[in-house]
Amino acid sequence: MAALGRLTLAALATIGSVTLFACSALVHIFRPPFYAGQFGTALVQIGWLSLPVVGLTALFTGGALVMQIYAGGARFNAEAVVPQIVAIGMVRELGPVLVGLMVAARVTAAIAAEIATMKVTEQLDALITLSTDPMRYLTVPRVLAALLAVPLLVAVGDIIGIMGGYFVATGSLGFSSGAYLRNTVNFLEPLDIASSLIKGTAFGLIAALMGCYFGLNAGRGARGVGRATKSAVEAAAILILAANFILTAVIFAL
């Protein structure tokens, strides 16, 4: 019981610390100074350089999704609904979640490793000595860049995923090109697209915050950097999946 109590208290302390860190980061977004150079670098790292992995992931997922839905629909003579189900599956769920997890794997790990290394090599102490707040210099630019870049990555991933399904459906399964695209466009509603972008914004916030939090709280030495990176990716992935469930329940219960 004592061990269980210690684990519970440690978990609650971590949740409280992360919550306070997130609130502080969001508040500092609206307070000067603003480091444009750090923001620009983070925007390129999070947005532009993530496009290849996001695009390839969405492309192959869309193609595989079409084949799975077609095989399942064939059992009930419902092959005609493949475009609609692929569209709603990619936009509502697979697109945002896959992009969020890819960003967690790539961006969160990179942020945590970079900041943890700066802590180990005493660069954070140097920033403080120079009267530079690490929260404003390191965390805020990355959080703001993720808030802007990840929804765009989700939108691109949705489009590429749908097109991956389109190529497989028209090239291998005998679907008409015009009918497939028409059914896709007509079936999607504004709420579907809005939910995808909202999820992308939330997932970007989570990915950046976890990388910064665990990086700034890393232990000393190479082992500390490794643990911080691993913990950041694990926390980001779990929180993204939990946030996806909560947002889906809230948005589509309206």
pLDDT of 254:
60
pLDDT of 158:
94
Contact 100, 207 (CB under 8 A): yes
pLDDT of 73:
79
For residue 32, pLDDT beyond 90: no
**How far are the Cα atoms of 122, 138, 227 from residue 65, in angstroms, in the given order?**
48, 39, 35
Q: Is 3 inside any structural domain? A: no
Model confidence, pTM: 0.92
For residue 214, pLDDT beyond 90: yes
Q: Is 13 inside any structural domain? A: no
Contact partners, residue 252, CB within 8 Å, separation at least 6: 92, 191, 195
Q: Is 217 inside any structural domain? A: yes
- Least Cα distance to 211 among 116, 119, 126, 122 occurs for 116
Q: Which residue has the tokens 């980061």?
A: 25
The rounded mean pLDDT for the chain is 90
- Phi and psi dihedrals of 160, rounded to 5? -65, -40
For residue 107, pLDDT beyond 70: yes
pLDDT of 187:
87
Instruction: Name the band, by pLDDT with cuts 50, 70 and 90, for residue 253.
Output: confident
Q: Domain of 213?
A: 43-71+78-251
Mean pLDDT of the region 37-65: 93
Q: Is 14 inside any structural domain? A: no
pLDDT of 200:
95
Contact 25, 136 (CB under 8 A): no
Number of structural domains the chain divides into: 1
